[in-house]
Amino acid sequence: MSLSALLVLPLVQRRQRHPLVDPWLFRDRRRAMALLAAFLRAMSYFSVVLVMSLYLQTVEHLDVLSAGFQVMLMSVGAMLASPAAGRLATRHPARLLASAGTALSALGIALLVLALSLGPPAPAGLIGLGLFLTGVGAGLFGVPNTGELMSLVPAHRRGIANGVRSILQNAGYLISSVVALALVAGHGTSGPGGPDGLGSPLPAATGGPAALVGHHRMALLVLLGLCLAATASSLLRGGAHRPVPPPALTTPPSAPHRPGPGGSGGTKGTE
């Protein structure tokens, strides 16, 4: 039902005089591809934290604190890359930077897939490198993609555009969490578990550690595919153009209006 409502929403919004989601944003290919890339990037990035934290705790048997510190490498990478992306965005096209960011995240996720294929136990250095590169790619993507999107809409519509971008990103986070958990749990068909008869959330109960690793690897492969789709969307946004840096604020402010000798506005009053 939720998917049907999502498909019907654009049709309903097109007939509204003041739509909640402005269809005008999607009529330009650069705007539409920037929004789609943000949605797919959110889906691919967010659940890497979920999948890897579950893997480190259930397969590698790390405690919560140790697993958290290792997964935190993604945030460190994003924190270091974001300021650099802001400086690079003034000299290089957003299409190039955003696509390089999603491609770098795809490389990081691919390294995580490789690490899980070599384990358990998976090489800790390879996991750390994969997490770090995934975060760096996310930091490199966000600033130029959002900046170009804002530059493609007039000032009075930038709030709407940013709101739509935020909605798509949050939807991507939610959908990716559901998909990743379903894949890690073995599609919910691992067998009865617990007094309620529902499927067990831990495939290791029936398939063993090898099956559990396979479920985590499958989830990462799906996230890798979404990240590659985000790269393709970013590249398809249209011809790259070299951004113009903002002008320096060297023009002095205009002089305040002073009334003339005859009164307000420089006109003589009448008696």
Question: CA–CA separation, 127 vs 48, rounded Å?
Answer: 11
Question: CA–CA separation, 190 vs 180, rounded Å?
Answer: 15
pLDDT at 96: 87
pLDDT at 226: 92
In order along its 271 residues, the chain shows pLDDT tens digits of 555 665 666 666 666 666 666 667 777 888 888 888 899 999 888 889 999 999 988 888 888 898 889 999 999 999 999 888 888 888 888 888 889 999 999 999 999 999 998 878 888 889 999 999 999 999 999 888 888 888 888 888 788 788 888 888 888 888 888 888 888 887 544 444 433 333 444 444 445 677 888 889 899 999 999 999 999 988 888 654 443 343 343 344 444 555 555 544 444 444 3
Evaluate whether 126 touches 109 at the Cβ level (below 8 Å): no
pLDDT at 159: 81
The percent of the chain in helix, strand and coil, each rounded to the nearest 5, is 70, 0, 30
* C-alpha angle 21-24-26 in degrees, rounded to nearest 5: 85
C-alpha to C-alpha distances, 223 to 92, 157, 265, nearest whole angstrom: 28, 32, 66
Which pTM does this prediction carry? 0.73
pLDDT at 149: 84
Evaluate whether 135 touches 74 at the Cβ level (below 8 Å): yes
3-class DSSP assignment, residue 182 = helix
